[in-house]
A and B are shown apart, each in its own frame.
Chain A
Amino acid sequence: MITSKNLTFSYDKQNTILEQTNLSIPTGEFSLLIGPSGCGKSTFLKILAQLYPKYAGTISGSINLDNLQTAMMFQKASEQFTMATPREEIVFALENLQISREKYPTRLQQAVNFAGISHLLDQKINTMSGGEQQRVALAVLVAMDVDVFLLDEPFASCDPTTRKFLITKLAHLRDLGKTIFLSDHILSDYVGICDNLFQFRDKTIVKLKEKEKKLLLHTNDQHPTYSFSIPVHESSCFTFANTEIKQNRLLLSQHELQIIAGKTTLITGANGAGKTSLFEALTQMLPYEGNLTFNKQEICQLSPRKYLRQVGQVFQEATDQFINITVLDELNLSKKQRSDNFFTDQKIQQALVNLNLDQLLDQVVYSLSGGQQKKLQILLMLISNQKVLLLDEPLSGLDQDSALQVMKLLRQSQIDRKQTLLIISHELTNLASWCDYHLVLANHQLTYVTK
């Protein structure tokens, strides 16, 4: 049993995350932690991983880990690797734990089989997709064979199949006696697997009763089907003709395709299929072969300054989007770029209130939580008003309420300004019902589908 007694944690005087929290987490079980973005889930996990208060904040009260060894997987997997390749990283971690050379091959094999990363073992980590990096990060923890697995939104960039696969695998680890403690915003696929559900409420964490847990998990476990139409004779915004996109390996080889102007198109596909690379090609960050045109003009020949004022992107990592320091600076910069009166000052203020960002105006953008950064990032890109907006996982790291608010804003802006939206997302619940078209990226091909 991992227990906390009167645990209080704060980053600074105004910013208390946990207050007088008394909690016990059963060992050898599967526990899930939920709560709105920015409530302190990552912070709590880092306290359990004994990284805090060493690296940030002050703590009072006590936490008893029952002499168990813990290891944690971060929200941003990319920032957790010391070495260049998964194999090197696993060796590094095992050497740290003083594992002998004889035991190394079995540990490596276990980890590789667990996460299904044998094909990635010697690839450079910084060339992998977000979902692949998350799988590698998980593999390292499995190789380390610790008692307690602390996972901070471990499936945020994973496709639904990988997500399901990894949850089942984690359940198997639990059956072998490991303690699994993870945070997530999506509650599907946990029925029959999750033993304990913990929730952040008013700066403390409570364990939900069995009945509440079951109700919450069951209502969130529906896999509704969606239907989309196939575009016919509509004006296109992007046109592909014998287009090839490569990054280390061939990602896309598209004979012909049109992406429809003024509509919302959803793009899905497995981890590492090349969805983000497709966006990079569309924003001139990655070269392509063949033809790829925007309003009948070849994209690589357009001046980036003019082109990128028409085609914007909401990056997968929110911090990549920020240019200034505080929330207010960022807002003011976007306000300057307004080219229509859709976002009046009043409307922006309202949006800030709805997104729970209105109290954070003076805060440095990098000190916001993952979810707060995401919300701010999307608001900024909507204010700057591009004709085409590419959104890469706009809902990752957002709690249900925030996701709904973000969707409302996106949808309103799309309808009123006839924006073209291209959305990459694994999370379909809030999104799929109002997307016009659905493109699936598989076998290096983008194809319109009706389901």
Chain B
Amino acid sequence: MNPSFKFLLALIISLEISFESSLATNFLIISISIIYLLIKHVKLKNLLITLFAPLLAAVTIFATLYWFAPQPNLTNALSLSSRIYVYTLTIYCVAVDTSAEQMARSFEQNFHLPSKFAYGVLAALNIVPQIKQAIRQIRTAAMMRGIYLGFWSPTLYFKAILVALNSAENLAQGMESHGYHENATRSVIIKIPIKVSDWTISIIILLIVNLSLFILH
């Protein structure tokens, strides 16, 4: 499915369930998402992390609305706390078989987002492993000179920021040296098509969500 369509679909669903609370719809979306992810053969470990990580936020909302509210409402509390899972799981579905490159290309071609935004984000993503490596290296370099940098050490972050700034500057020059110019037209070599199926699938999913929001209200 087209990455931009997937993204937009997740966004619309998230917005709709934010305005209209329906516990059944939430659970419907959550179960479909999990089934989809299982079909896509995601690693069980990653799925479990995605289920556990938002637990704190979900429990906090539930606690506020159920245990500490003057007039506790179980449905309401469950509905609001399960929303957290709708958000995380739908976005996981978007990300599961879309690479950052495909996403950027799709935004550029299908949404006509400025290319500087799409490729700026991509380039920034590619700096992340460099920053991680730099942090590992700076800790080693420091120990070689008798200094221990703990994760609380400002030097570590100063250095990481410095690496990021320096890379950003070089990257801008690097992009330009590879022929990139802001606002210039670019050709399309790898096309991200919008198929009829993208439209039909999106409309069907939106219809189901909306019907369920109204019927299972």
Contact = CB atoms under 8 A, between A and B. Distances in A.
A82 B171 contact: yes
Contacts of B186: 95-96, 98
A315 B141 contact: yes
B140 A308 contact: yes
A179 to B, nearest CB: 16
Contact of B175 (A54, A73, A82): A82
B166 interface: yes
Interface in A367-413: 380-381, 384, 386
Interface string A167-197: 0000000000000000000000000000000
B138 interface: yes
A323 B138 contact: yes
A72 B177 contact: yes
Interface in B166-209: 166-167, 169-181, 184-191
B162 interface: yes
A250 interface: no
Interface residues of A, number: 60
A88 B101 contact: yes
A261 B99 CA distance: 49
Given A51-B177, A140-B178, A315 B145 contact: no
Contacts of A9: none
B187 A95 contact: yes
B122 A83 contact: yes
Interface string A52-86: 00110000000000000001111010111111100
Given A82-B119, A96-B180, A126-B126, A285 B187 contact: no
B58 interface: no
Given A323-B138, A334-B145, A95 B188 contact: yes
Contacts of B126: 81-84, 125-126
A432 interface: no
A312 B170 contact: no
Interface stretch (A99-107, A226-234, A289-297): A99-107
A343 interface: no
Most buried by B among A46, A83, A380: A83
A88 B105 CA distance: 11
Contact of A82 (B122, B140, B141, B184): B122
Query: Would you call the interface of chain B mostly helix, strand, loop, or mixed?
Result: helix
Given A79-B171, A98-B187, A315-B141, A323 B177 contact: no
Contacts, number: 140
A420 to B, nearest CB: 15
Given A51-B173, A83-B122, A323-B141, A78 B178 contact: no
Interface string A270-304: 00000000000001110000000000000000001
Interface string A83-120: 11000110111111111110010000000000000000
B174 A96 contact: no
Given A308-B140, A320-B138, A80 B170 contact: yes
B12 interface: no
Interface of A: 46, 49, 51, 54-55, 71-74, 76, 78-84, 88-89, 91-101, 104, 125-126, 140, 144, 283-285, 304-305, 308-309, 311-313, 315, 319-323, 333-334, 336-337, 366, 380-381, 384, 386
Interface of B: 100-101, 119, 122-123, 126, 129-130, 133-134, 136-138, 140-148, 155, 159, 162, 166-167, 169-181, 184-191
